[in-house]
Each structure stands twice: as structure tokens, then as C-alpha cells.
């Protein structure tokens, strides 16, 4: 295993020294907002079956996938170019296609039929439970890292039926195959590169930075995100978003490690002590699969500056906000471009 270019701390969940783990997490969250997690207890077997089933879905014809188009509850399929994570971008839409699975105990999720993909639902549900469990363990370490009771986030109700979403992602290898033209309600896909040269006067050509970004620059909305990838590179982070020009650093793949990052809610809670770092996925000309698990608080939970993160000299920077209100606004911006 070659050492990563960008040094991100490795958090070894098999360690019993919770105080030292929490200290490393604190440092990682202040310096990068990103860290690796090893020995998390999710067997390779589950990750491999997650990617195998994910691929089976994304391999279906677009018309089949669109039958499960993302609902108002944010469950289901989003086609390439449906999302613009970088809401300031002049380009429209990201290259990726994705599938959202929300809390598995409610009945709002959409599933491919058992006839077409018999093992799909059970695979996703099983991975969801396992990764949720790792998320809970990390949140408790994060509470310690913030000098709080290890059950702090449970006690304030954040983890009471948390709004945890598993998002399966597929980045096409050849972006040119996915040029997408949108005209009012009509969406046409062109699968032949030469056609792009034709001046199409209907609608708008969605160039998505000419296919440069699988996912454009963004920060995640919630508490923490736990990511697994198939090892294909592309993920980059920018630690100083206001610096010009921005410096983007590659996040290397480490076999069997999860990549964990802090989201905007946690940044608000911690009064920016912990950083919600800008990141993106650049297209590397290779097909790529990943699965991001967003562990976000219960929508009723009020996110307000933690006592351990403010003082007279460092007053709260954000007003308290109900988690559900915050998410609705962020989702609206992401999909309204």
C-alpha cells in the first residue's frame, strides 16, 4: 500500500483507547474535516455485494431507472445532470447518477422489483444497518472529542430515528455518452458523440463543465458522511475554500478504509471548530462507483452552538435552526438549478 499524498488521519475503531481516538478525531476534524476509518467491522463481503447490486441497478435501461425517480421524500433515482451540488456553478448538473435510500424502518423507500433484482433490497438494508452502526460509534467519539458526554447526541434526540440516507453513486466512464438536453418537461438523451456538434435549438445543452466533474464542489449538509468507493480515484478536497486559486488535493483510496467527513450541521453545532470541507469528484475517464452514507439528525432536532464551542470571545456564529428546515432549503437549492 503506497502512502497517501494527502495525509489524513487513520482512525482505528478496533482500538480500546477511546480518549486517544477522540483526540485524533478532534485534530482531524479541525485540520481537514476528513479522516479514514479502519477496522470498522464491515466485512469486504458486504461492500462487494453493495457494489455488485448497485451496478446491476445502474446497468438497467434509463426508462426502467426513471420508474423509480426520486420522490418528494428524496428516495429513489436521480439521472445524470439532475443535481447541481455547486449551486454557484454556471454549468448545469453533475455527471453522476445516484439512488437514495432513506431510513429503512419507514415505508417511503422505493425499491427495484424483486423479479428484476432479487437480492437488491436485502443487500441495501443490510449495508444500511451496518454503516448506521459505525456512524453511531463515530458520533459518540465525536461527542467525546467535543468534551461532551459520549451520549450527548443521543440525549438531545439527534439520533432518534436519524435522517440517515444511503446514496449509491455511479460516475460514467465516458461523459460524452451522457450529453443531456433539457427542454421544459422533455428530457432527451443522446448517446452518439457526433450529435453533440449539431446545434440543437430546443432547450439548453447541459454541459456540466464538459464532463469534468462527476460531482461538482460542495460540502455535505449533515452531521457526518461515511463513504466507500470502488478504489477508482477522483475524490478531491479543498481545505481553504476562500483561497484563490483554490488548492485541490486528492484523497487516496485505502483498501478497506471508510472515508469520513464532517458536514455543515456539525460545523454549525461546533461553531466552525470542526470543518465541513469543500470536496468534489473529478472525472478520470474511468467508470466509478461509490456509496455515501449521510448521517443526519432527526428533523425535529434543533442545531445550536454547543457550549463547549463558544465563549465570550468566540460567540455563536449561527442562529439555532431546526434540522428539517435546514435540509429542505439545501435540497431545494440543489435541485432547483
Residue 132 contact partner, candidates ligand AKG, Fe ion, none, CB within 5 to 8 A by sort of partner: none
Determine, following the binding rule CB under 5 A, whether residue 220 of this chain makes contact with Fe ion: yes
Asked whether 142 and 25 are in contact (CB, 8 A), the reply is yes
| Smallest distance, ligand AKG to C-beta of residue 229, A | 5
Task: Establish if 32 lies at the interface with ligand AKG (CB under 6 A).
Answer: no
DSSP string, 298-324: -TT-EE---GGG--SSS--SS--EEHH
HSE-CB at 297 with a 13 A cutoff on CA atoms is 28
Select from 26, 167, 170, 180 the one that contacts ligand AKG (CB under 6 A).
Answer: 167
How many whole angstroms separate alpha carbon 181 and alpha carbon 189? 7
164's contact among ligand AKG, Fe ion, none, with CB below 5 to 8 A by partner kind, is none
| Cis amide prior to 245 (ω within 30 degrees) | yes
Q: Are 37 and 257 in contact (CB under 8 A)?
A: yes
Site size toward Fe ion (CB under 5 A) is 1
The answer to whether 99 touches 167, Cβ cutoff 8 Å, is yes
Q: Provide, rounded to whole angstroms, the least separation between the CB of residue 263 and Fe ion.
A: 8
Nearer to ligand AKG, 214 or 297 (CB): 214
Work out which of 83, 220, 249, 296 binds ligand AKG, going by CB under 6 A. 220
Work out whether strand 204-206 and strand 235-238 pair parallel, antiparallel, or are unpaired. unpaired
State which of residues 124, 281, 295, 305 lies at the interface with ligand AKG (CB under 6 A).
281
User: Applying CB under 6 A, does 232 fall inside the site for ligand AKG?
Assistant: no
Residue with Cβ nearer Fe ion (22 or 54): 54
Segment near ligand AKG (CB under 6 A); pick from 25-33, 115-123, 138-146, 227-235:
227-235
- Is the backbone of residue 51 left (phi > 0), alpha (psi -120 to 50) or beta? alpha
- What's the closest the beta carbon of residue 102 comes to Fe ion, in angstroms? 17
Q: Which is nearer to Fe ion, 148 or 260 (CB)?
A: 260
What does 229 bind: ligand AKG, Fe ion, none (CB cut-off 5 to 8 Å by kind)? ligand AKG
97 is a site residue for Fe ion (CB under 5 A):
no
- Is residue 262 close enough to count as binding ligand AKG by CB under 6 A? no
209 binds, options Fe ion, ligand AKG, none, Cβ within 5 to 8 A by partner type? none
Please report which helix (H) or strand (E) contains residue 316, including its range.
none
324 class by beta-carbon count within 10 Å (0-12 exposed, 13-18 middle, 19+ buried): middle
Task: Give the footprint of ligand AKG on residues 67-126 (CB under 6 A).
Answer: none
The residues, any chain, with a CB within 8 Å of residue 229's CB and separated by 6 or more, are 235, 253, 259, 288, 289, 290
- Return the C-alpha torsion angle 78, 204, 207, 290, nearest 10: 0
**Which stretches of the chain bind ligand AKG, using CB under 6 A?**
167, 169, 215, 220, 227, 229, 235, 279, 281, 290, 292
Amino acid at each position: 500500500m503506497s502512502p497517501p499524498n494527502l495525509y489524513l488521519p487513520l482512525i482505528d475503531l478496533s482500538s480500546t483507547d477511546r480518549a486517544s481516538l477522540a483526540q485524533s478525531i478532534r485534530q482531524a476534524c479541525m485540520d481537514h474535516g476528513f479522516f479514514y476509518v479502519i477496522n470498522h467491522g464491515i466485512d469486504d463481503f458486504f461492500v462487494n455485494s453493495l457494489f455488485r447490486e448497485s451496478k446491476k441497478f445502474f446497468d438497467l435501461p434509463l426508462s426502467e431507472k426513471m420508474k423509480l425517480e426520486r420522490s418528494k421524500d428524496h428516495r429513489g433515482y436521480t439521472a445524470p445532470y439532475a443535481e447541481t451540488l455547486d449551486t454557484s456553478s454556471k454549468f448545469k448538473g453533475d455527471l453522476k447518477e445516484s439512488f437514495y435510500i432513506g431510513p429503512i424502518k419507514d415505508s417511503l423507500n422505493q425499491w427495484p422489483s424483486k423479479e428484476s433484482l432479487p437480492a437488491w433490497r436485502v443487500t441495501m438494508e443490510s449495508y444500511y444497518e451496518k454503516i448506521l452502526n459505525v456512524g453511531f460509534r463515530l458520533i459518540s467519539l465525536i461527542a467525546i472529542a467535543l468534551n461532551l458526554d459520549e451520549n450527548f447526541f443521543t440525549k438531545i434526540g439527534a439520533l432518534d430515528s436519524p435522517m440517515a440516507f444511503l446514496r449509491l453513486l455511479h460516475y460514467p466512464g465516458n461523459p460524452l455518452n451522457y450529453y443531456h438536453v433539457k427542454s421544459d418537461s422533455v428530457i432527451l438523451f443522446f448517446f452518439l458523440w457526433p450529435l453533440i456538434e449539431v446545434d440543437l435549438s430546443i432547450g439548453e445543452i447541459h454541459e456540466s463543465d464538459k464532463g469534468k466533474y462527476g460531482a461538482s464542489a460542495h460540502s455535505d449538509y449533515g452531521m457526518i458522511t461515511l463513504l466507500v468507493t470502488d478504489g477508482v480515484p477522483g475524490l478531491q478536497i479543498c481545505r481553504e475554500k476562500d483561497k484563490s486559486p483554490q488548492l485541490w488535493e486528492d484523497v487516496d483510496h485505502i483498501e478497506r478504509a471508510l472515508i469520513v467527513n464532517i458536514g455543515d450541521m456539525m460545523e454549525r453545532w461546533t461553531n466552525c471548530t470542526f470543518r465541513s470541507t469543500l470536496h468534489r469528484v473529478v472525472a478520470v475517464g474511468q467508470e466509478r462507483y461509490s456509496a455515501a452514507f449521510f448521517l443526519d439528525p432527526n428533523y425535529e432536532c434543533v442545531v445550536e452552538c454547543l457550549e463547549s464551542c463558544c465563549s465570550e470571545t468566540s460567540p455563536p456564529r449561527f442562529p439555532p435552526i431546526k434540522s428539517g428546515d435546514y435540509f429542505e432549503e439545501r435540497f431545494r437549492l440543489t435541485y432547483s438549478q
